[in-house]
Structure 1
């Protein structure tokens, strides 16, 4: 591994947790955008944050949202091209999130397989080189672009049902999605994080679902001919 990983490994668990959690926010607050760019394109940092038990892939994804591009345009270290590189890496992490939650060891293969493209910025090329140099465990290294790249129509994959999904619906505020499945469950997902907010289990397969205009009432129909009305507690239409 690189210098970052070596230094971090020498510190106490408490220091590692505090450092990984505050590094990116502190760099942005202090206006050190060049260091922020370097950190979020450093493979060692990505590995450390994803593997740490207090963090994982979603907190890492959120690190890339710390810059408000409108407010940062007057900063001398603000770089549009490097910002684009960060967006590509963040998009890759979103596409791979459901895989990385199950197996964090897939980070190298997922990044390389989705970012391997001749037109990628130099920061991305440097990250791909780091992956090859610093990954010490066996991993699948694609020789040609083989996975869905960031920037397309697919943004994220939600994984949680044990059988096929029959219907989906999005709440009026665009923040949650409802899925009805053959596995007899209806799930409510947080679109920003990909997490399951709530699960309703019926007696038979759930075939359809919809969200009422109030943004808090779900209507679902199952294979037995029953219609269920469910309430999204604690949520409101924005």
Structure 2
């Protein structure tokens, strides 16, 4: 157990949650790039924050390191982007079972030659005990690939169409549950549900200015 995990374990629950929630922001505001990088690349911190809070809160911490005001070398920024990408791809699994963190990181990052990533995956490997399904090679989609995140827990029927909005940050889906949903790509959250159709929604299009959505349904309304 590292010094960080020991300190976190000794804290009262409320203080531990507050520390996990606020420490990255405090380090970024203090322009403490070295400690921020250490924290966001530290398996103990990652594991503790995933365990105590929602995975999305941890994923958003990595956006702090993107600030041009922080003197973080590009190589280290790249490492943090890869860790963030792996966590984003793993978020649906972690929301269901937070104990799957080591398997998810190993399955997505274990072939990386980056020193920071190797240190992280080595620590994740050592954390697992007992009988478990250990990846021997990278077996899951990595953050190097084009998939950004899986969108789940929205529609309860087949999704027939999706369109990316002009801002590149939101998508709209059309489903057999008679609704359209607007999703935030960064968080994977449903921002809004558009109702009105009485039958399957088969297609959706967005005007170039992003202000209007046009849907096509088997109920013959648009």
Normalising by the residue count of structure 1, what TM-score does the alignment of the two structures yield? 0.84
Which SS does the other structure have where 2:199 is aligned?
coil
Aligned twin of 1:91: 85
How many Å separate the matches in 2 of 1:39 and 1:140? 27
Aligned twin of 2:177: 183
Runs of 4+ with deviation above 6 angstroms:
none
**More helix per residue: 1 or 2?**
2
How many Å separate the matches in 2 of 1:219 and 1:47? 43
Aligned twin of 2:122: 129
Aligned twin of 2:62: 64
Aligned twin of 2:44: 44
Aligned twin of 1:161: 155
Which SS does the other structure have where 2:69 is aligned?
helix
Structure 2 unaligned regions, length at least 5: none
Contact kept? 2:31, 2:69, Cα under 8 Å: no
Aligned twin of 2:99: 105
Which SS does the other structure have where 1:70 is aligned?
coil
Which SS does the other structure have where 1:93 is aligned?
helix
Report how far residue 39 of structure 1 moved: 0.9
Contact kept? 2:181, 2:194, Cα under 8 Å: yes
Question: How many aligned positions are there?
Answer: 220
Aligned twin of 2:133: 140
Contact kept? 1:204, 1:223, Cα under 8 Å: yes
Which SS does the other structure have where 1:39 is aligned?
helix
Report how far residue 98 of structure 1 moved: 2.1
Which SS does the other structure have where 1:145 is aligned?
coil
Structure 1 unaligned regions, length at least 5: 228-238
